Amino acid sequence: MGLELNFNLDPRTKIIILAILSFMVFNDVSLYISGILVLIPFICLLFSNHKKSALIYIVVYVLAKYIQIYILPTATGLTAIILITFSYTVSRMMPILMMGYYTITSTKVSEFISSMEKSNIPKYIVIPVSVVFRYIPSVFEEIKSITNAMKMRGFGLTAKSLKNPLKLIEFYMIPILISAVKTADELSAASLTRGLSNPEPRTHLLEIKLTKLDYTLLAITFIGFGIYAYNFLRGVLIA
């Protein structure tokens, strides 16, 4: 329980790790380097009250890597195409998605704004991104509410509903789109009401600072990136 309470990363740490992770997983990285880096989202989720998501993530990722290493070399035909699509999509996209999920769900808007202002990030970047931090969870809540309402009326996202795509668009997609636009307008108005566009310096009740945990995870990330950069540059120079 204590680990859950103390595992609170600085928003800057989350964004830096997400950016480096996004760059590295889309390039050819040694297995031991990528293995260490993909453990960071797992650790973050595991110790921040997202144990189920962490376990699903690591099991699916290990399965995708197992398919790449042991099954793909002998697979042929349609089976090989399906396995390639699944394994490479999961191994390259899932670490980014899970780190992004952790970043958004565990970061309060006030924490994000405070950390960005400490880093002297311009307001025209801080304000849109801070709205996004509120927007995505709000839209997911709206989607959940619309889905429950449709189920109560006997029209959910099932194989039966897919047979009638026009009704699916009318009863499900249109309410989601209208709700998404309405939510964006409301959050934009709320951000302006709270004075985010005020050019004067703001005061904050939260004290945002980098801790030993932040420095540890950043060190692991930069060491992995340094090893990757060294191997990449050595390969370029040899070629």
> With contact defined as beta carbons under 8 Å apart, do 133 and 112 qualify?
yes
Nearest CA-CA partner of 36 in 46, 24, 26 = 24
Q: What is the mean pLDDT of each run of 10 residues along the chain (239 residues)?
A: 60 89 72 76 87 91 87 84 87 87 84 81 78 76 80 68 70 78 76 66 70 89 82 60
Residue 229 has a pLDDT of 78
Q: What is the pTM of this model?
A: 0.75
Residue 161 has a pLDDT of 64
> With contact defined as beta carbons under 8 Å apart, do 187 and 131 qualify?
yes
Which residues, including other chains, have CB under 8 Å from residue 87's CB and lie 6 or more apart? 64, 65, 67, 68, 72
Q: Using alpha carbons, list the distances in angstroms from residue 182 to 33, 44, 117, 172, 173.
A: 43, 32, 28, 16, 14
Which DSSP category does 196 fall into? Answer: T
Residue 162 has a pLDDT of 65
Angle between helix axes 31-46 and 212-238 (nearest 10 degrees) is: 160
- Report the residue count for the chain: 239
Residue 55 has a pLDDT of 92
Residue 57 has a pLDDT of 92
